Amino acid sequence: MKLIFERSREGRRAGTLPKPEGLARAEVPEELRRRRPPRLPEIPENEIVRHFTRLTTRNFGIDTGFYPLGSCTMKYNPRVNERVAALPGFRDLHPLQDEEGSQGALELMVELQEILAEVTGLDAVSLQPAAGSQGELTGLMLMRAYFADRGEAGRRKKIVVADTAHGTNPASVTMAGYELVKVDTDKRGNIDLDDLRAKVDDETAGLMLTNPSTLGLFDEHIEEIARIFHETGGLLYYDGANLNAVCGISRPGDMGFDIVHINLHKTFSQPHGGGGPGGGPIAVRRHLEPYLPVPAVVRDGRRYRLEFDRPKSIGKVRAFTGPFGVFVRSYAFILAWGRELKTMSEDAVLNANYLLARLRDAYELPYDRLCMHEFVLSARKLKREHGITALDVAKRLMDYDFHPPTIYFPLVVPEALMIEPTETETKETLDDFADAMNAIAREASEEPDTIKSAPHNRPVKRLDEVKAAKRAVVRYRFEEHPDLAAEPTASAATEAPRGV
């Protein structure tokens, strides 16, 4: 399909602008004036609409079908949330509008903060971080500020992270200026307590943990883990990526965590938008509240206001008070569940366990326990016996009109298939998916080549990622654009390399 630049013809245009009469023309000084115009496409409006509409037909979303992407919580995104986010009083509200003129927005934020505090079992919330990974970084900055205040920042240099953690955890540790200490997973999929005890001392600032873990397992020793850190004065950070499993059932604050981030785009249904936006509010215990980003959004009786005067605050992690449009959608979503939010998590866990029960014969289950909202299978046996990898299974699922699960993660499971159905799926959808997965397992012995050459009914077949990385063509170059089709194609990536 053509790029939009390849549809451009000089002199065409879509948008027109007002031209106020009698307005004198202002001039940019010569040395600052643009010499060569940017080569934006010149194209009529209907062709723009057709171009992007055609692109949407080459994309898969939750609205298209089942999307069991582990750790991503791809649940239905209610349309009413879009409707309310587009109310002019929200959409067309300037962030610097005076407090008098933004009482409704501030009230919404205060209410959302209170809801998130209740759901996490903590005391204070900042909605500012733009996404989960920024929530993580903010949480680590809070740790630093807290220990600096206690005169311990120089000593407490280390953050402990589980080997099953999302890559964002270790990356955030480095960006926050901490040293990473990795802790192993034991045979039941919990944190290895002996390994942990050996690695935690008074130089440890804290722990970052996802619970349930990326294996979809609730750590059975969570109370002991919290004790180990709190006894040495460390803090516990909860990566809320998997909060969808435990709303109304077990709260991070009650588990012993001091700082939590919540992915509004996972648990609370903000659409992922092809990669973003998200929202990563953080909730903390009372003693960490003074360090939260500014401005705080606070309630004064029936009035709402922004509070900037927080001398111990870490500062700002993004502009204004956060991704407000995301708050509107998540708030609307939570209103629909209200105090029955527990049912959401129960159904998410039930759906996951049902799928697990239906798939455990055809695929290996490395940690044989009941799961929470997601579970991790291994295609190791298919690979050994038939040369069919997790990647092959993923690609073949597309032929059955399903989005594949997360693959090759977590790293502790070879040929991992990480499956998270969420609560917004019917039993029939789960059955159809299980039937497809089981059919693929059968095909592995009967017609492996059909799997290896999948997908068969998509706009493109498997893509040459080696060529993409080597050539690094990351923008259109107009007349000088290379013709990659004329260059040899490697046998496209068939397996994720395991590295050394």
Partner 1 sequence: MAADESYPDDLRYHREHDWARIEGDEAVLGITWYAQDALGELVHYEPPESGSSVSKDSTYGEVESVKAVSDVIAPLSGEVLEVNQVVVDAPETVNEDPYGNGWLVRIRLSDPAEAEQLLDAAAYREVLAEQ
Partner 2 sequence: MTYVCLTDADREEMLATIGVSSVEELFRDIPDGVRLKRELDLDAPLSELEIVQRLEQLAGRNVSTGDTISFLGAGVYDHYVPSIVDAILQRGEFLTAYTPYQPELSQGVLQALFEYQTVICELTGMDVSNASGYDGTTVAADACYIAKHATGRSKVVLAESLNPQLRQVVRTYAPGFGLEVVDVPHREGVTDPEELRAAAEGAAAVIFQQPNFFGCLEPAPELAAAASDAGALPVAHVDPVSLGVLEAPGAYGCAIAIGEGQGAGNSLSFGGPHYGFIAAREEFTRRMPGRIVGETTDVDGNRGYVLTLQTREQHIRREKATSNITTNQTLLALGGLIHLCWLGPEGLRELGETCMSLAEHAKDRLGLPLVFPDRTTFKEFAVRVGRPAAEAIRAARAHGVHPGYPLGRDYEGMDDVLLVAVTEQRTLDEIEALAEALAT
The one of partner 1, partner 2, none whose footprint includes residue 497, by CB under 5 to 8 A per kind, is partner 1
Angstrom distance (rounded) from CA 260 to CA 285: 9
The one of partner 2, partner 1, none whose footprint includes residue 301, by CB under 5 to 8 A per kind, is none
Angstrom distance (rounded) from CA 233 to CA 215: 28
Residue 60 interacts with partner 2 (CB under 8 A): yes or no? yes
Classify 419 as helix, strand or coil.
strand
Nearer residue to partner 1 within complex by CB, 153 or 496? 496
Interface pick for partner 2 out of 209, 326, 376, 388 (rule CB under 8 A): 326
CB atoms within 10 A of CB 333: 22
CB contact at 8 A, 490 and 402? no
For residue 95, give the DSSP letter.
T
Its sign, for the CA torsion 441, 447, 453, 456, is negative
Instruction: Classify residue 415 as exposed, middle or buried by CB count within 10 Å of its CB (0-12, 13-18, 19+).
Output: buried
- Token pair belonging to 396: 């073949």
Stretch that binds partner 1, among 18-26, 282-290, 442-450, 467-475 (CB under 8 A): 467-475
Parallel, antiparallel, or unpaired: how do β-strands 235-240 and 204-209 relate?
Answer: parallel
Nearer residue to partner 1 within complex by CB, 118 or 163? 163
Query: How many residues contact partner 2, by CB under 8 A?
Result: 209
**272 Cβ contact partners less than 8 Å away, ≥ 6 residues apart:** 72, 74, 265, 278
CB atoms within 10 A of CB 86: 12
Residue 498 interacts with partner 1 (CB under 8 A): yes or no? yes
| Torsion, Cα of 249, 376, 179, 169 (10° steps) | -60
Which of 198, 213, 211, 207 lies closest to 230 in space, CA to CA? 207
Beta bridge partners of 161: 182, 208
The one of partner 1, partner 2, none whose footprint includes residue 495, by CB under 5 to 8 A per kind, is partner 1
Nearer residue to partner 1 within complex by CB, 14 or 468? 468
The one of partner 2, partner 1, none whose footprint includes residue 500, by CB under 5 to 8 A per kind, is partner 1
Stretch that binds partner 2, among 195-203, 281-289, 412-420, 460-468 (CB under 8 A): 460-468
Its sign, for the CA torsion 371, 438, 464, 413, is positive
Residue 386 falls in which region: left (phi positive, over 0), alpha (psi -120 to 50) or beta: alpha
Parallel, antiparallel, or unpaired: how do β-strands 158-162 and 235-240 relate?
Answer: unpaired
Residue 80 interacts with partner 1 (CB under 8 A): yes or no? no
Interaction mask 254-293, partner 2, x per CB under 8 A: xxx------x-x-----xxxxxxxxx-------------x
By CB under 8 A, the residues from 436 to 455 that bind partner 2 are: 455
By CB under 8 A, the residues from 201 to 260 that bind partner 2 are: 217-218, 220, 222-223, 246-251, 254-256
Stretch that binds partner 1, among 160-168, 292-300, 428-436, 488-496 (CB under 8 A): 488-496
Query: How many residues contact partner 1, by CB under 8 A?
Result: 14
Angstrom distance (rounded) from CA 266 to CA 277: 11
- The least CB distance from residue 351 to partner 2, in Å, is 8
Nearer residue to partner 2 within complex by CB, 328 or 382? 328
Interface pick for partner 1 out of 3, 249, 357, 466 (rule CB under 8 A): 466
Residue 337 interacts with partner 2 (CB under 8 A): yes or no? yes
Interface pick for partner 2 out of 87, 202, 312, 435 (rule CB under 8 A): 87
Beta bridge partners of 261: 239, 282
The one of partner 2, partner 1, none whose footprint includes residue 151, by CB under 5 to 8 A per kind, is none
Residue 108 interacts with partner 2 (CB under 8 A): yes or no? yes
Interface pick for partner 1 out of 48, 193, 434, 496 (rule CB under 8 A): 496
**Residues at the site binding partner 1, with contacts judged by CB under 8 A:** 408, 465-466, 468-470, 490, 493, 495-500
